[in-house]
């Protein structure tokens, strides 16, 4: 079995090898464990990029393989971040409050500590009580469970509703976008219990590790992110390699036909939707401690669209494509928007990339969609000399995979 | 003696119309009255000055008005040399003087005059008297002013003069106002309970704000508490139950305020009391380390209480006990039960009617929101509904339209003219953008809807950023012409701004236009042919490329016009389109793709829904949008194909 | 003889157009049946109803010895109950290999979790190879099915149907676009299949139907016009009037 699996997915070994080398290389170049060539903030950027790659992997599974263009996976990503952020913020505030109260004559009561934490965290939105959603915030294991459960259950409920009513194609995309918008708007409220548009902050300070410097923590998180990405890659590659992969690709290409084979298409979609939501949530839970802050703007529908953009540019329907796309575009993006890209002086006008990067991205995205539907991953086909099968004009491949049934029949 | 008599007579006479007074007894001159009451006027007091002012007011002498106004406004003085009252007006180096009868009296230095400065109470009495005076003024405008003054600041003593002035009132409008005001004052200030109730009931069904203003003080309540078993005097509105009507804390605070219970000890006070009594690392024998629960702290405090170290304070249990031993009621400040009952009944009636009116207003709001959504969505109804092309840059076309309007206003300062220019121009600009986009991008993706979605997203991102680069991030104004300012007002509650009416009309126009275009024109016929069967249409001599291009351009052009309409009431920013795109798609999807009536129904449903939810929670429009989207997701469960669904094979799965 | 499928009194309306009008039909467990009828007679809609794609406005569709109603089941449940369907146009998953296509169709647990943890046993590989050989694709197992010719795709789809091991096979115009030799092969296969299961063939081509040599049901305007042997129905004056007569003219 393992042999077949790896034989079917030669890219898995390559990927793991490159990922290990990358992690090792970064460690050697880091300030904390090596020659201090890379700055801590850059290592954090790399760590965050690995998390985004993991999210892109989930996106590739749901879109590239199952054909569901979800515009809501960054919402799950952010929800995962919120869940871990609640513990980070609670535990850190708890430490601060306990220290502050220890100067008083009497030892603090549990209630006083609770009130102190609530006041610290929620003073900014004018509340002083801990909302009920913070019930488990004191416990890391419980909150870690919520990282998986909250996005998972949300995806399960939403997916069940959406797939049950046979919403497909662009309609489903719009519906997921609406869900994301609803969630973002909800979190923007001050009484949502998650500090409204202030979001959660100070997440880079890991409770209990106050003595460890950020340059070490950043490397640790890089390791964790790389580990999660490797594990995620193995998992997703395993999911798509067997008969399950066959079925979801078949659903992508012609879901009505799959139904007549006796597979409950809705069940498969729901499974993939929920699984990918959970993967995205875990990626988010690793991302936000490195980013340090999370707010509802992270849930905006545009974030999920960027995720789709990365996967499309990297190449849908192949896992390494998604990873390459996410890494390349998000690193480029932070290079351009970070003001590090040199401006181009045209004489009459100076192109300042901070302003023009999005335009470049948008247009290159249109270009990729039109001229290189296989994305960067398509280059590997060229390298290997692989040719796509001659479909005798009846193109029904991955590129057309998500056709509406009616159009597919035409 | 004579003065007092005159005052009494005048007070009685003031109940009658002044005209009658003038006929029956020779009027005393104002000057005479002032002279007669010199002592009172020089050192007036709120309690005793009434009759004098009433006398002046009732004298019928036009000069009395002058004197009273001067007195109230530091315009009356006493010349120190002869003690005579003079009307004074200040100049740079002293006063210009006039005698009380209005004749010129020269000037005086500042030091020669004692300015009379009546206190606020007296000034109030004078003002009231002036109002009475004005109530019978020959000039209707002054009478109207007087009524406004009374309505703004009603007082019991105004009731009689107001009543007295009604019969002689000749102007029917003013008479009606006086009558209404009379009843409003009667229900508050009349000494006779039955009269007040009659006045209250005469208003049944009235929606006026002035009426609610008059009724509310009658029904003002205060919370009161008394030990169980003792009577509570006053007009009790209802009993309050601690726990449900008011919290235990509130109940106890009430008792503390009424000196019915000792003050409660807050946890912070308890803590500092304990901290002040630490001896040898323990409080009252309890080690400090153990004091990390509230229960232990209470024990320690009780021990200190017993030892007499700290004052006795109520603990939580005692608070509960004390609260349970008292009755809490809401009492009206108005003592007359019959009046409060009648007022409550009328107010309830008003509230019911008010609710209905608010519903009507809400319906208007919903209608206008629906027309905005409809306008935003109608372009999509063409590109998405008819052509099935998903254009995520639709919102950016709306934005382009709005910015076109803004740019036109920069060049044409006349808002009406600029609007007339901007509407077709916005159409042209977005039409061109739509055609360009269709030719360059969408044409290649007709069989790949999901990729159309993503490619148009790319365009949407680029266009938004481009707008930011050109116009900056701050909002740009798109000012509506003056004739669109203001609102169509039906009554105090129901009103709608003209801009929204205009948008509603525009939405209707576009609905008609769409129907005409699709059902009555050659283009519409060809569009329908091409969307149903492109190859068949092509074989019949229709050029599908041209039709697709035109249709897409048309949908985009309408988005541009919608942009101007939306820009008129919302600020124009680069994110304008973003705010509408999801709602627009929802409108089309919920309504039923491919059917303009469906889009209309969808817009109406979403608009009504959003306003309806906002009504439940007016402070929170974010929540309203959240719940609306959730509702739509659920709605799609039950009607996956929208409100107006095509059925069967034609629907094409 | 107890029936495998019993359709009674079924009607369905699309936007006021009655596609199926009080249709009754039944087929036994091992029977070959041809359904013929002019365009718009309701042949495809009939198959849609049986396979659960279209819900009728009224009527009953009962299945198997337990008389299960198919109307409350989803397409996937009906397929799992043992109804296989072959579409007019060959629909195979072109992005996947012939083996993958067959493996997917192979009778096995269909739930997502069961499939996720399922791995093919040697017996499954053997069965796939056997099926591929049966439909003449024995040496194309590793090819992507998108590369196959039209006829080969038809065969692959038939192979997938066989892999499903259905009790009832609904076949929509199997001979369309086939060469003469392929048609004969198809005829033999269908006749063979009908020995162990029920097969319903919807066909336009009279010659093909004649070769099947089975009972024929003629549909017209959504209901059964005639039923019996081909010779019997071709002599029926109504049938001649609405269908054969026209086509011979």
Complex ipTM: 0.86
State residue B618's pLDDT score. 67
Q: Where are the alpha helices (DSSP H) in A165-264?
A: 169-188, 214-241, 243-253, 255-260
**Looking at beta carbons, which residues of chain C come within 8 Å of B648?**
13-15, 17, 19
Identify the pLDDT of residue A285. 95
Encoded tokens for B290: 């153990």
Angle ∠(B541,B545,B547) on CA atoms, nearest 5: 75
Cβ neighbour number for residue B56 with a 10 Å cutoff: 27
A52 vs B67, more confident: A52
Q: Write down the pLDDT at residue A148.
A: 94
**Do strands B76-79 and C83-86 pair parallel, antiparallel, or not at all (unpaired)?**
unpaired
If you count them, how many residues does chain C have? Answer: 249
Judged by a CB distance cut-off of 8 A, whether residue C248 touches chain B is: no
Q: Is the pLDDT of residue B35 over 90?
A: no
| Backbone phi, psi, residue C56, to 5° | -75, 155
pLDDT of B3 over the 90 cut = no
**Residues from chain A contacting residue B533 (CB–CB below 8 Å):** none
Q: Where do we find the tokens 């662009």?
A: A170
Angle at A274 between CA A269 and CA A279, to 5 degrees: 125
Per-residue pLDDT tens digits for B101-142: 778 878 888 788 888 888 777 877 777 777 777 777 788 887
B275/A302 touch (CB, cutoff 8 Å), yes or no? no
Residue A406: pLDDT band (50, 70, 90) is very low
**Which residue from B459, B461, B653 is facing A406, i.e. has the nearest CB?**
B653
A172, part of any domain:
yes
Other CB atoms within 10 Å distance of the CB of residue C199: 28
Residue A199 has pLDDT above 80, yes or no: yes
Give B327 or A392, the one with higher predicted confidence.
Answer: B327
Look at strands C223-229 and C215-220 and give their pairing: antiparallel
CB C9 within 8 A of CB C24: yes
Beta carbons within 10 angstroms of residue B182's beta carbon? 19
- Of the residues A128, A166, A296, A359, the best mutation for testing chain B's interface (the one with the most B CB atoms within 10 Å of its CB) is A359
Q: Within chain C, which residue ranges are assigned CATH 3.40.50.300? A: 1-82+166-249
State the pTM of this model.
0.80
**Residue that wins the pLDDT comparison between B375 and B155:** B375
User: How far is it between the farthest Cα atoms of chain C?
Assistant: 60
For residue B649, the chain C residue with the least C-alpha distance is: C14
Task: Answer whether residue A309 is part of any domain.
Answer: no
The token pair at B418 is 């600029």
Q: What is the pLDDT of residue B500?
A: 85
pLDDT, residue B644, reads 74
Mean pLDDT for the stretch of residues B457-479:
89
Rounded CA-CA distance B410/B391 in Å is 30
Of the pLDDT bands very low, low, confident and very high (cuts 50, 70, 90), residue B80 is confident
What Cα–Cα distance (Å) separates residue C57 from each residue in B430, B643, C163? Answer: 46, 20, 33
Backbone phi and psi for residue C216, each to the nearest 5 degrees, phi listed first? -125, 135
pLDDT (tens digit per residue) in A48-95: 999 999 999 999 999 999 999 999 999 999 999 999 999 999 999 988
- Chain C CB contacts of A254 below 8 Å: 91, 93
HSE-CB for B144 with a 13 A CA cutoff:
7
Q: CA A185 to CA A179: how far, in whole Å?
A: 10
Give which of B294, B577, B622, B642 to mutate to test A binding, by max A Cβ within 10 Å.
B622
List, in sequence order, every beta strand (DSSP E) within A295-338.
none
Helix (H) or strand (E) holding A292: none
**Mean pLDDT on B613-621:** 75
Indicate whether A405 pLDDT > 70: no
Mean of all residue pLDDT scores within chain B: 81
The range of the structural domain enclosing residue A104 comes to 2-301
Q: What percent of chain B has pLDDT over 90?
A: 8
Q: Where does B331-414 have alpha helices with state H?
A: 337-380, 394-411
pLDDT at residue number A8: 66
What is the tens place of the pLDDT at every residue in B387-424?
778 888 999 999 999 999 999 999 988 888 998 999 99
User: CA dihedral defined by B447, B451, B452, B457, rounded to 10 degrees?
Assistant: 180
Stronger pLDDT, A116 or C178, i.e. the higher one: A116
Residue A397 lies in a domain: no
| β-strand pairing of B286-287 with B282-283 | antiparallel
The model's pLDDT over B158-178, given as tens digits with 9 standing for 90+, comes to 788 788 888 878 888 888 888
For helices B578-591 and B337-380, the axis angle rounded to 10 degrees is 90
Among B649, B651, B652, most C C-beta atoms within 10 A, so best to mutate, is B649
Average pLDDT of the residues in B205-221:
78
Task: Give the pLDDT confidence score for residue B29 in this predicted structure.
Answer: 77
- Pairs of CB atoms within 8 A across B/C: 11
Average confidence (pLDDT) over B259-266: 76
CB contacts of B633 in chain A (<8 Å) are 158, 161-162, 175, 178-179, 182
Which pLDDT value is given to residue C155?
83
Number of structural domains found in chain A:
1
Q: Which of A239, A243, A259 sits opposite C103 (nearest CB)?
A: A243
Please report, in tens digits, the pLDDT of each residue of chain C (249 residues total).
478 888 888 888 877 777 888 888 888 888 888 888 877 778 888 888 888 888 888 888 888 877 888 888 888 888 888 888 888 777 888 888 888 899 888 888 888 888 888 888 888 889 999 988 888 888 888 888 888 887 788 888 888 888 888 889 888 887 777 778 878 888 888 888 888 889 998 887 778 888 888 888 888 888 888 888 888 888 888 877 776 555 443
Predicted local distance difference test score (pLDDT) of residue A403: 36
User: Closest chain A residue to C83 measured between Cα atoms?
Assistant: A260
What pLDDT is recorded for position A3?
A: 47
- Taking only the tens place, the pLDDT of each residue in B510-531 is 889 888 888 888 888 888 888 7
pLDDT tens sequence across B39-49: 777 777 777 77
Residues whose CB falls within 8 Å of the CB of residue B189, separated by 6 or more in sequence, listed in order? B154, B155, B156, B159
Here the tokens at position C187 are 């005829």
Q: Answer whether B645 touches C (CB < 8 Å).
A: no
Q: How many Å from the N-terminal Cα to the C-terminal Cα in chain A?
A: 40
pLDDT at B16 over 50: no
pLDDT at A151: 95
Average pLDDT over residues B616-621: 72
Residue A359 included in any domain: no
* Inter-chain touch B650–C17, beta carbons under 8 Å: no
CB contact under 8 A, B647 and C15: yes
Instruction: State yes or no: pLDDT of A46 exceeds 80.
Output: yes
Contact residues, A window 229-258, toward C, CB-based 8 Å cutoff: 239, 242-244, 246-247, 249-250, 253-254, 256-257
> What's the pLDDT score for residue B79?
83
CB pairs under 8 A between A and C: 96
What is the number of other CB atoms lying within 10 angstroms of the CB of residue C194?
19
| Structure tokens belonging to residue B22 | 């003038």
Higher-pLDDT residue of A36 and B132 is A36
Separation between Cα atoms, residue C108 and residue A122, nearest integer Å: 55
Domain C1-82+166-249, classified CATH 3.40.50.300, yes or no = yes
Residue A6 scores a pLDDT above 80: no
Q: At what angle do helices B394-411 and B578-591 cross, to 10 degrees?
A: 130
pLDDT of residue B193: 82
Would you call C93 and A254 a contact, using CB atoms and an 8 Å cutoff? yes
Pairing of strands B104-108, B94-99: antiparallel
Asked whether the beta carbons of residue B271 and residue A106 sit closer than 8 angstroms, the reply is yes
């Amino acid at each position: 079995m393992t042999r077949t699996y790896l034989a079917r997915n030669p890219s898995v070994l390559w990927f793991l090898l490159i990922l290990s080398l990358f992690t090792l290389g970064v460690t050697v170049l880091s300030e904390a464990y090596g020659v201090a060539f890379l700055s801590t903030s850059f290592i954090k950027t790399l760590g965050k990029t690995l998390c985004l790659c993991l999210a892109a992997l989930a996106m590739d599974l749901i879109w590239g393989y199952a054909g569901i263009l979800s515009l809501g996976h960054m919402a799950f990503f952010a929800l995962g971040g919120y869940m871990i952020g609640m513990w980070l913020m609670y535990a850190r505030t708890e430490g601060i409050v306990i220290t502050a109260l220890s100067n008083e004559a009497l030892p603090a009561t549990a209630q006083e500590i609770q009130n102190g934490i609530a006041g610290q965290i929620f003073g900014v939105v004018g509340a002083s009580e801990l909302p009920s959603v913070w019930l488990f915030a004191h416990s890391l294991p419980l909150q870690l469970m919520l990282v998986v459960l909250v996005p998972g259950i949300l995806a399960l409920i939403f997916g069940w509703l959406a797939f049950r009513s046979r919403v497909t194609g662009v309609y489903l995309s719009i519906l997921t976008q609406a869900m994301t918008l609803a969630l973002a708007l909800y979190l923007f409220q001050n009484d949502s219990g998650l500090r409204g548009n202030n979001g959660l902050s100070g997440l880079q300070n890991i409770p209990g590790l106050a003595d460890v410097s950020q340059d070490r923590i950043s490397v640790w998180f890089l390791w964790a992110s790389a580990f999660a990405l490797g594990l995620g890659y193995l998992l997703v590659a395993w999911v798509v390699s067997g008969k399950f992969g066959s079925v979801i690709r078949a659903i992508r290409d012609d879901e009505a036909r799959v139904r007549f084979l006796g597979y409950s298409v809705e069940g498969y979609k729901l499974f993939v939707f929920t699984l990918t939501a959970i993967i995205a949530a875990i990626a988010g839970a690793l991302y936000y401690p490195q980013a340090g802050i999370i707010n509802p703007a992270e849930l905006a529908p545009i974030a999920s669209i960027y995720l789709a953009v990365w996967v499309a540019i990297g190449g849908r329907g192949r896992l390494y494509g998604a990873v390459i796309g996410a890494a390349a575009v998000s690193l480029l993006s932070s290079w351009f928007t970070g003001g590090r890209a040199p401006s181009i002086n045209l004489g009459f006008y100076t192109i300042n990339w901070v302003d023009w990067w999005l335009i470049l991205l948008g247009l290159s995205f249109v270009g990729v969609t039109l001229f290189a539907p296989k994305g960067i991953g398509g280059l590997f086909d060229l390298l290997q000399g692989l040719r796509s099968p001659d479909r005798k004009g009846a193109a029904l491949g991955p590129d057309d995979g998500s056709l509406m049934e009616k159009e597919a029949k035409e | 003696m004579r003065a007092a008599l005159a005052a009494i007579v005048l007070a009685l006479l003031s109940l009658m119309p002044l005209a009658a007074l003038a006929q029956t007894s020779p009027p005393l001159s104002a000057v005479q009255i002032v002279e007669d009451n010199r002592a009172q006027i020089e050192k007036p007091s709120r309690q005793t000055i009434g009759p004098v002012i009433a006398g002046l007011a009732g004298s019928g002498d036009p000069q009395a008005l002058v004197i009273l106004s001067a007195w109230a406004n530091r315009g009356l003085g006493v010349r120190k040399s002869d003690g005579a009252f003079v009307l004074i007006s200040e100049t740079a180096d002293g006063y210009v003087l006039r005698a009380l009868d209005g004749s010129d009296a020269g000037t005086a230095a500042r030091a020669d005059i004692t300015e009379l400065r009546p206190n606020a109470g007296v000034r109030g009495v004078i003002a009231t008297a002036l109002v009475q005076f004005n109530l019978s003024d020959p000039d209707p405008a002054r009478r109207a002013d007087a009524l406004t003054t009374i309505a703004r600041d009603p007082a019991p003593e105004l009731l009689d003069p107001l009543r007295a002035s009604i019969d002689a009132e000749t102007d029917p409008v003013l008479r009606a106002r006086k009558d209404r005001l009379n009843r409003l004052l009667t229900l508050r200030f009349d000494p006779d309970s039955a009269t007040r109730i009659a006045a209250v009931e005469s208003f049944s069904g009235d929606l006026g704000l002035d009426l609610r203003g008059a009724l509310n003080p009658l029904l003002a309540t205060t919370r009161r508490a008394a030990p169980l078993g003792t009577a509570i005097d006053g007009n009790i509105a209802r009993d309050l139950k601690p726990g449900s009507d008011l919290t235990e804390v509130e109940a106890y605070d009430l008792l503390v305020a009424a000196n019915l219970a000792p003050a409660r000890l807050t946890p912070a006070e308890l803590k500092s009391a304990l901290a002040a009594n630490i001896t040898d690392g323990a409080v009252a024998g309890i080690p400090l380390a153990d004091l990390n629960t509230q229960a232990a702290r209470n024990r320690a405090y009780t021990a200190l209480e017993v030892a007499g170290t700290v004052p006795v304070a109520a603990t939580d249990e005692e608070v509960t006990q004390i609260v349970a031993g008292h009755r809490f009621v809401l009492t009206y400040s108005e003592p007359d039960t019959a009046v409060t009952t009648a007022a409550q009944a009328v107010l309830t009636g008003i509230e019911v009617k008010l609710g209905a009116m608010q519903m009507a207003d809400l319906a208007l709001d919903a209608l206008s929101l629906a027309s905005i959504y409809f306008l935003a969505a109608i372009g999509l109804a063409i590109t998405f509904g008819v052509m099935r092309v998903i254009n995520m840059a639709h919102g950016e076309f709306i934005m382009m339209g709005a910015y076109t309007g803004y740019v036109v206003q920069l060049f044409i300062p006349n808002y009406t003219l600029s609007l007339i220019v901007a509407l077709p121009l916005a159409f042209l600009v977005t039409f061109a953008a739509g055609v360009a986009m269709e030719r360059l991008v969408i044409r290649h993706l007709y069989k790949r809807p999901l990729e159309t979605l993503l490619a148009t997203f790319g365009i949407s991102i680029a266009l938004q950023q481009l707008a930011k680069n050109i116009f900056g991030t701050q909002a740009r104004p798109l000012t509506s012409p003056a004739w669109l300012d203001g609102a169509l007002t039906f009554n105090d509650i129901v009103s709608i701004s003209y801009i929204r009416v205009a948008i509603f009309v525009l939405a209707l126009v576009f609905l008609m236009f769409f129907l005409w275009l699709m059902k009555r024109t050659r283009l519409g016929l060809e569009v329908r042919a091409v969307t149903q069967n492109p190859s068949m249409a092509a074989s019949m001599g229709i050029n599908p490329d041209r039709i697709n291009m035109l249709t897409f351009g048309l949908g985009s052009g309408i988005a541009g016009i919608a942009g101007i309409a939306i820009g008129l009431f919302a600020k124009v920013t680069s994110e304008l389109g973003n705010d509408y795109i999801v709602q627009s798609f929802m409108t089309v999807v919920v309504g039923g793709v491919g059917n303009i009536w469906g889009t209309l129904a969808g817009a109406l449903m979403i608009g009504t829904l959003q306003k309806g939810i906002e009504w439940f929670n007016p402070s929170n429009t974010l929540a309203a949008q959240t719940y609306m989207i959730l509702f739509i997701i659920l709605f799609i469960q039950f009607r996956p194909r929208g409100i107006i669904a095509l059925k069967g094979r034609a629907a094409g799965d | 003889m107890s029936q495998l499928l019993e359709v009674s009194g079924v009607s369905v309306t699309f936007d006021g157009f009655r596609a199926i009008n009080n249709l009754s039909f039944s087929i036994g467990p091992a029977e070959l049946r041809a359904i013929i009828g002019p365009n718009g007679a309701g042949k495809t809609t009939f198959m849609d109803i049986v396979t659960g794609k279209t819900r009728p406005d009224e009527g009953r569709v009962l299945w198997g010895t337990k008389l299960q109603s198919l109307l409350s089941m989803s397409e996937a449940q009906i397929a799992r109950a043992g109804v296989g369907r072959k579409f007019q146009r060959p629909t195979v998953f072109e992005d996947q290999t012939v083996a993958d296509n067959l493996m997917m169709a192979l009778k096995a647990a269909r739930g997502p979790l069961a499939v996720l943890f399922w791995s093919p046993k040697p017996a499954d590989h053997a069965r796939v190879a056997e099926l591929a050989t049966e439909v003449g694709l024995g040496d194309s197992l590793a090819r992507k099915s998108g590369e196959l010719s039209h006829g080969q795709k038809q065969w692959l789809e038939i192979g997938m149907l066989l892999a499903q091991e259905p009790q009832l096979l609904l076949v929509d115009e199997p001979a369309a676009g086939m060469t003469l030799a392929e048609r004969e092969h198809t005829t033999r296969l269908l006749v063979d299949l009908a020995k162990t299961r029920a097969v319903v063939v919807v066909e336009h081509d009279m010659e093909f139907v004649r070769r099947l040599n089975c009972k024929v049901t003629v549909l017209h305007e959504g209901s059964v016009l005639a039923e019996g042997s081909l010779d019997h129905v071709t002599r029926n004056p109504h049938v001649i009037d609405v269908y054969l007569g026209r086509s011979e003219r």
